[in-house]
Chains A and B, each alone.
Chain A
């Protein structure tokens, strides 16, 4: 489990990037927390810098949009999903459990 930050430090509509390898983005989407791989599956942009709207994040480079629950792109130009990771809150701290690499295609469980 990787500690992210305190829950109070990630208000609704905000995101934070973890310098893991590969980097992970954690979002507070209207009170619900999600973690996905930070690097867009299209080219090289950081999704934590994207535009958050409901459960969707729009990539800041070419506007592909990803569903935070599944990691799947909902529009072009991205065609591949990003991985999703589990998020837990304990004692007011947000933690992320990175998806195991094997078989982690983002198709599986969301937070």
Chain B
């Protein structure tokens, strides 16, 4: 391959560029990113960065988000086209068309366009935010530093919960609205999801569950009217100065319309991140790898190694099977989860107690048929790490057995 284009200049895109060079690709490497910023890390945006923590000031904080440095940028020998969106990929996946009309002829393409925050329908109102990128975080942070506000967070998922936690820490009055009976039940299961609901109460945020949002009410004139309240489906109205909409993310696949790539809530890939076109691979939040779309930092950093290997080989020679892992920081507690939980798995508490969170957290495992399927820890990093390693080893073994079966 002589020319490879990476579309998306964030976590997965940068890791793909690194892997291309590390695996010996010596040709022309172009990275296209819609944002004007150099690659930065998103997880802190809803955590420390939102709280403006850190004594190094804003520049120090931006530096803390940076995923790379000038030295590495030079080593990568890539052309970075930032602040420019890719608009199309031709049918055979050989040409990337940019918003400014330029075309990039490529022998290989890595799609790493991630996902964007879902929004509520209706006209835009001042004071209503989503949180996906640096500019979102800066806008929200600016609003949160203007004195105490009534903040309503719509959605009790990880981003919603972390944002609520940061807003409480900044001294705001915070209500979280969650349509499901319990937040995070899909991720953590009905036995342990209440732990996270309990964190809101302990931290000092109101949590309203089992009720949807009917709409937002605005007031005032001018260019943009400002949000005043959140109307709930049951008729209640929550007064609000700031609303954060955290209702999930949609993969950025629109620009692929007209290419021959199959898209269904993400780009459909095989186990090795390869699309139906062998010269196109997809990684990170935008990729549905072997039927699963993971929206986690660790998948976005682990998939590129395998994706690049397969891209350079021209076919799938290796499967990407990272053990699912994510973490979240809420109300001073660190939550870590690894593995593949299934409904009906039994939960066993190995250390500490979910009821006494203030006193050192807990470690729980999920089990099915005598095997550990997943683990959840709150403030138990050390013991969590042991279980996570065990799970990874078990997964590798199962994979090897499966591969052996394929050959007989």
Q: Do A and B bind?
A: yes
**B-chain residues with CB within 8 Å of residue A79 when the two chains form the complex:** 69, 72
A49 touching B301 in the complex, CB below 8 Å, given contacts A43-B44, A44-B48, A79-B69? no
Given A45, A46, A49, A62, which contacts B297 in the complex, CB threshold below 8 Å?
Answer: A62
A62 to B386, CA, bound (A): 14
Residue-wise, chain B 177-208 has the 8 Å CB interface mask toward A (1 for contact) of: 00000000000000000000000000000000
Stretch of B28-36, B92-100, B377-385, B397-405 contacting A (4+ beta carbons < 8 Å): B377-385
Q: Is the interface of A mostly helix, strand, loop or mixed?
A: loop
A60 to B298, CA, bound (A): 13
A61 to B381, CA, bound (A): 8
Given A43, A60, A76, A77, which contacts B381 in the complex, CB threshold below 8 Å?
Answer: A60
**A-chain residues with CB within 8 Å of residue B340 when the two chains form the complex:** none
Min CB–CB distance A41 → chain B (angstroms) = 10
Task: Evaluate contact between B301 and A51: CB separation under 8 angstroms.
Answer: no
The residue of chain A having its C-beta at the shortest distance from the C-beta of B298 within the complex is A62
Task: Evaluate contact between A46 and B381: CB separation under 8 angstroms.
Answer: yes
Task: Evaluate contact between B385 and A77: CB separation under 8 angstroms.
Answer: no
**A-chain residues with CB within 8 Å of residue B255 when the two chains form the complex:** none
Task: Evaluate contact between A49 and B327: CB separation under 8 angstroms.
Answer: no
A50 to B383, CA, bound (A): 9
A43 to B334, CA, bound (A): 13
Chain B, 351-408, CB within 8 A of any chain A CB = 381-382, 384-386, 389
Q: On chain A, which size bracket covers the interface?
A: 10 to 19
A50 to B67, CA, bound (A): 22
**B-chain residues with CB within 8 Å of residue A45 when the two chains form the complex:** 381
**A-chain residues with CB within 8 Å of residue B72 when the two chains form the complex:** 79
Knowing that A51-B385, A62-B298, A77-B41 touch, tell me 6 more A-B residue pairs with CB under 8 angstroms.
A44-B48, A50-B382, A51-B386, A58-B385, A61-B381, A77-B301
Binding site for A on B (CB under 8 A): 18, 41, 43-44, 48, 64, 67, 69, 72, 297-298, 301, 327, 329, 334, 336, 381-382, 384-386, 389
User: What would 22 A/B residue contacts be, using CB atoms closer than 8 Å?
Assistant: A43-B43, A43-B44, A43-B64, A44-B48, A45-B381, A46-B381, A49-B381, A49-B382, A50-B382, A50-B385, A51-B385, A51-B386, A51-B389, A60-B382, A60-B384, A60-B385, A61-B336, A61-B381, A76-B18, A77-B41, A77-B67, A79-B72
Binding site for B on A (CB under 8 A): 43-46, 49-51, 58, 60-62, 76-77, 79
